[in-house]
Copies of this chain bind each other. A is one copy, B any other.
């Protein structure tokens, strides 16, 4: 596969970003971590680090949204929620609570590029828009599943926002406390909220 090097760089960047944040992940770290050639970075990503970050964000977004959508279709809203949370728990525990969410990292961390881009607000907003798009994507999957179960559009939107936001926050809290306890607590409460909303809708 000719795109192996490029893909490894993107996946490695997403992984490092989820562990350290955007600015703490240097391109030299990426090539070290993925055992890829350093000279290829400007070849595969002519727009530099900003492009690599952007591709890492959309990559991480799809990596979550694709199985999430499948789980929602196969197992319903509650099953999809369980699968969503389980995947985050797996990532946290597999990395010793080192890796969080790379999309959240972009949403929190402001990328400080080369001197010419220091005040380039447009380029900055582009990364934020990408992160926002990923969140909106996840939210939309949740929202559609809730709609299918008979909830109103407004309620579905609100609950989807609550689910995505609370899980993102919880993952960060788990990383800080090196414990999955917050995830357990949030999972229980979210399941109660959704089951209550669903039973209320079909009543």
Question: Which secondary structure dominates chain A's binding surface?
Answer: helix
- How many chain A residues sit at the interface, stated as a range, is 35 or more
Contacts of A173 in B (CB 8 A): 107, 132, 135, 161, 164-165, 168
Q: Is there contact, CB below 8 Å, between A107 and B176?
A: yes
Contacts of A164 in B (CB 8 A): 169, 173
Q: Is there contact, CB below 8 Å, between B165 and A182?
A: yes
Contacts of A158 in B (CB 8 A): 185-186, 188-189
Kindly supply a per-residue 1/0 record for chain A positions 152-192, scoring 1 wherever the CB is within 8 Å of any chain B CB and 0 otherwise.
00000111011011111110110111100110011011100
- Report how far A23 CA is from B22 CA in the complex, Å: 9
A-B CB contact pairs (8 Å), 10 listed? A21-B110, A23-B24, A104-B172, A107-B172, A108-B172, A132-B177, A135-B173, A161-B186, A162-B166, A169-B169
Point out residues on A near B: beta carbons under 8 Å.
19-24, 100, 104-112, 128-129, 131-132, 135-136, 157-159, 161-162, 164-170, 172-173, 175-178, 181-182, 185-186, 188-190, 193, 196
